[in-house]
Amino acid sequence: MTPPIECMLFDLDGTLADTAPDLANALNATLEHFGQPPLAFEKIRPVVSHGGIALISLGFGMHPDDPGFEERRQHLLQVYLDNICQSTRLFPGMDEVLQTLHEKNIPWGIVTNKPAWLTDPLMAALPMPCRTQVVISGDTCEHRKPHPQPLLLASERLHTPPGQCLYIGDAQRDIQAGKAAGMHTACALFGYIQEQDRPLEWQADFSLEQPGDLLTLM
């Protein structure tokens, strides 16, 4: 039986938008800057949801406490900011989902661990059929996902009880946060799933092969 979903909340990278091309370009530019060969896009894509630390660890084989790690991370983030939405687009079919939410007057929002200084310019530049009513970034609250606080703030701002919200994400922390907030959860299998991930073990309420699968839940 389909639950009473009155609100949809989306993770950003790997769920709402395909940000991997721009983040991969930023990592390869950083590798080149520090005298390292580029990585294949297919190797970078699954790591994108985990942010700059994971990307630098992948590209340079370094740990966050290694000398030079932070310098490389800051370089990557600056390159990314300077090219924030060159190739980033909504995932195929997501525009229809957002348009349907708009037409049905179903509130929707973004809850991401991406900091606001990256989230805000990306959301401003990203081509979308309609605009979201709320954006919660990684530094909006005291806690980030997998803590439920950001999701609970989003539901509060959208005046919708958590139990009537659906949170969609492509990482285990997304499903953990949604469950902890008392929300319905959906795993975006089209997102940045790593080879070692076992998304079926995350026990989301729904598994989405493509964004259009959300249309059946409205």
**Which pLDDT value is given to residue 19?**
97
| Average pLDDT for 94-106 | 96
**Which pLDDT value is given to residue 75?**
98
Domain residue ranges in the chain: 7-18+89-217, 20-82
Q: In this model, does residue 184 exceed pLDDT 90?
A: yes
Summarised one tens digit per residue, pLDDT across range 124-182 is 999 999 999 999 999 999 999 999 999 999 999 999 999 999 999 999 999 999 999 99
Q: Which of 11, 13, 22, 213 is catalytic?
A: 11
Mean pLDDT of the chain: 96
- Collect all residues with Cβ–Cβ distance below 8 Å to 147 and sequence separation of at least 6: 141, 177, 180
**Which pLDDT value is given to residue 49?**
85
Q: Is 205 a catalytic residue?
A: no
**89-90 and 17-18 beta bridge pairing:** antiparallel
Domain 7-18+89-217 has CATH 3.40.50.1000: yes
**Which pLDDT value is given to residue 189?**
97
> Is residue 106 within 8 Å of 8, Cβ to Cβ?
yes
**Which pLDDT value is given to residue 1?**
53
| Average pLDDT for 182-194 | 96
| Average pLDDT for 14-34 | 97
Whole-prediction pTM: 0.94
- pLDDT band (50, 70, 90) for residue 2: low
Beta strands in the chain (DSSP E): 7-10, 17-18, 89-90, 108-111, 134-136, 165-169, 184-188, 206-208
Q: Is 103 exposed, middle or buried (0-12, 13-18, 19+ CB in 10 A)?
A: exposed
